[in-house]
Amino acid sequence: MSAPRLLEVSGLTKSFPVKTGLLQRTKGQVHAVTDVSFGLERGRTIGIVGESGSGKSTLAKCIVRLYPPTAGRISFRGEDIAFMTERRLRADVRARVQMIFQDPYSSLNPRHTLLSIVDEPLRVHHRLSAVERGYRVDTVLERVGLDPAFRRRRPHEFSGGQRQRIAIARALVLNPDLLVADEPVSALDVSIQAQIVTLMQDLQEELGLAYIFISHDLSVVRAIADTVIVLYLGRIMEVAPADRLFACFAHPYTEALLSAVPVVRTDDTKGPPRIILSGDQPDATDPPAGCVFHTRCPYARDRCRNEVPAVRSLPDQDEGHRLACHFPLTGQS
Ligand code: SF4
């Protein structure tokens, strides 16, 4: 029997109740993530893209079980963790799945030293001596490009890029299998972004880590992801190997996202025209019937307003390329 995938997400759904009034009665639900399914192998990267409000961060927080899902399955190393108790999560899962955030400054305790920040997960999850922990911390700091001599410094004494390296060190110190990175470079200058992405790629090659890399920036995702998932209003619109998605996208929403990515050309030709979507993303408490994208889709027809498109493979295409659209584009970039 073949080994299970590192991560297999199926039918993942997360809704939040909307409460109102003094009695906090539930008056509706925010449908943040609806019926999302995908798999991730060891040593590979899935990129998740979409506008803000597309459900990217909620999906990430469900996978690391910061949020309990409303429905669905999250199989990690062959075991369903979707509804696992906190006690079992701490014993079997927390150390193996780590998360890093967009703003490392707010996720690092400003009163703690570098040593204390990176050492903390070891104190919580392992019974090691102070000497063993110190050795492990120094090894990880060096691995992410930080000088262990700085271990008594506090977060405000580091630059933004160094702070993100601290966050990565803290995640790595437990030897995780999966790192979920939520907009990890969005707050950094472009040159620093490239350094952090390169560091993550090196760590992946060396340690066999799997990544879920969330970003609204498609050029960054293109640089790091093997597979890309495009989310809109909490639903999968398109999923494909990264090279294929950027060359042969078939969903109108992907087309609009890609048209906004600046293209640097060495000749005088112009890139594809920018597609400006009309209106705002619909309210997630009352998503549109049929295809949720139909209120903004330039290609919408009657069928789109009435019938939800299933996520399916294109005829004659690799099963790795799936999308939810009744009328896929044949256009390419
Ligand atoms: Fe546009 Fe219709 Fe496809 Fe939805 S199903 S993306 S509305 S063409």
Bin 201: left if φ > 0, else alpha if -120 < ψ < 50, else beta.
alpha
Our mutation pick for probing the ligand 1 site, out of 292, 312, 322, 326, counting the most ligand atoms within 8 A of Cβ, is 326
Our mutation pick for probing the ligand 1 site, out of 253, 325, 329, 330, counting the most ligand atoms within 8 A of Cβ, is 325
Of all protein residues, the one whose alpha carbon is nearest to atom 7 of ligand 1 is: 294
pLDDT for 333: 44
Ligand 1: distance of its center to the CA of 304 in Å? 6
Candidates 252, 255, 230; CA nearest to 240 is 230
CA distance 311 to 300: 17
Ligand 1: distance of its center to the CA of 237 in Å? 10
Q: Which residues line ligand 1 (CB under 6 A)?
A: 252, 291, 293-294, 297, 299-300, 304, 309, 325-327
299 neighbors 326 (Cβ within 8 angstroms): no
Instruction: Give me the residues of the chain with pLDDT under 50, please.
Output: 332-333
pLDDT in tens, 176-199: 999 999 999 988 888 899 999 999
Of all protein residues, the one whose alpha carbon is nearest to atom 6 of ligand 1 is: 325
Please state the atom number of ligand 1 nearest to the C-alpha of residue 299: 8
Please state the atom number of ligand 1 nearest to the C-alpha of residue 304: 2
Please state the atom number of ligand 1 nearest to the C-alpha of residue 309: 5
Tokens of 84: 């696992």
What's the length of the chain? 333
Of all protein residues, the one whose alpha carbon is nearest to atom 5 of ligand 1 is: 325
User: What DSSP string describes 63-104?
Assistant: HTTSS--SEEEEEETTEE-TT--HHHHHHHTTTTEEEE-S-H
pLDDT in tens, 280-308: 889 899 999 999 999 999 999 999 999 99
Candidates 269, 99, 245; CA nearest to 172 is 99
